């Protein structure tokens, strides 16, 4: 029997996060579905060398061992035709493209610099709609950096996905010319991706399962400052939910 996402599952999978500060954050920013981030573009000096490194050293994505197939399907983890570089390759990446982590330290100072909870993904097939298992905060905290993308069109789509009602609202991400960093609300939207043969993109993804920045007041305040700047600067790119509320995704939390 295939597992189906419901309010109980979403509520249970976020229990370890919300505290007083996070709940305030959710009330203020829960309607923001997608926001480009106001940081300079992450730039790899020798992108061809880095692409070659990723193609040669990237490994197939693997299902987490403690998940059944149905659970993996529910969280979009049952399609492994992807090449990824995991965080255990950090030292090697620092030799090939040291500028990446220099930029990371400068632009994303709210994240623990020793964080080993990220990966770099390059898809090799279409990715069906799904939520990530983490984070399930009702705010745009899912972080992505588009390190490389030679597709002739946008291929990453977000779809508003309330649990108990059908709403037809989706959009492809739209990045301004001066940034390649962005964030979305993983609780309210699912994401999927189209694969165009002979083209590729490379996404730097931050899972937020280990030591997430939003559980610390000082780090969260830094992120809120960035988010406020980003919303103001990229108002025409930002997507806001006017169709659903947090009650459309979660059971009443006590």
Answer yes or no: are the C-beta atoms of 167 and 244 closer than 8 Å: yes
- Cα distance between residue 54 and residue 24, in whole Å: 40
Q: What percent of the chain has pLDDT over 70?
A: 84
Could you read off the pLDDT of 108-148 as tens digits, one per residue? 989 886 766 788 888 788 888 999 888 899 999 999 999 99
Answer yes or no: are the C-beta atoms of 141 and 222 closer than 8 Å: no
Better-scored residue on pLDDT, 213 or 173: 173
The pLDDT value given to residue 253: 59
Could you read off the pLDDT of 167-184 as tens digits, one per residue? 999 999 999 999 999 999
Least confidently predicted of 10-24, 54-68, 151-165, 213-227: 54-68
Its pTM stands at 0.89
Q: How sure is the predictor about 2, in pLDDT bands with cuts at 50, 70 and 90? A: very low
The pLDDT value given to residue 138: 95
Domains with residue ranges and CATH for the chain: 7-248 (2.60.120.330)
The pLDDT value given to residue 93: 84
**φ and ψ at residue 11, rounded to 5 degrees:** -65, -45
Given a cut of 60, is residue 192 above it in pLDDT?
yes
Cβ neighbors of 118 (< 8 A, separation 6 or more) are 87, 204, 205, 206, 207
Q: State the chain's mean pLDDT as an integer.
A: 85
Question: What is the sign, positive or negative, of the torsion defined by CA atoms of 12, 221, 241, 207?
Answer: negative
Mean pLDDT for 246-254 is 83
Given a cut of 60, is residue 64 above it in pLDDT?
no
């Amino acid at each position: 029997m295939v597992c189906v996402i419901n309010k109980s599952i979403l509520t249970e999978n976020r229990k370890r996060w919300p505290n007083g500060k996070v709940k305030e954050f959710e009330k203020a920013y829960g309607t923001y579905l997608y926001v480009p981030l106001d940081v300079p573009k992450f730039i790899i000096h020798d992108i061809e060398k880095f692409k070659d490194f990723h193609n040669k050293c990237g490994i197939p994505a693997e299902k987490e061992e403690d998940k059944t197939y149905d659970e993996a399907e529910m969280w979009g983890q049952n399609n492994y035709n992807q090449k990824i570089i995991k965080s255990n390759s950090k030292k090697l990446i620092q030799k090939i493209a040291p500028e990446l982590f220099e930029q990371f330290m400068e632009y994303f100072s709210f994240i623990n610099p020793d964080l080993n909870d990220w990966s770099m993904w390059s898809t090799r097939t279409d990715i069906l709609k799904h939520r990530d298992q983490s984070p399930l905060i009702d705010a745009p905290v899912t972080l992505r950096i588009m390190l490389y993308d030679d597709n002739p069109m946008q291929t990453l789509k977000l779809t508003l996905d309330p649990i108990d009602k059908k709403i037809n609202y989706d959009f492809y991400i739209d990045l301004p010319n001066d940034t390649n960093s962005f964030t979305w609300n993983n609780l309210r939207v699912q994401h999927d991706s189209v694969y165009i043969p002979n083209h590729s993109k490379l996404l730097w993804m931050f899972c937020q399962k280990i030591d997430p920045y939003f559980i610390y007041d000082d780090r969260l305040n830094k992120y809120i400052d960035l988010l406020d700047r980003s919303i103001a600067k990229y108002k025409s790119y930002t997507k806001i939910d006017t169709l659903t509320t947090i009650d459309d995704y979660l059971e009443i939390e006590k």
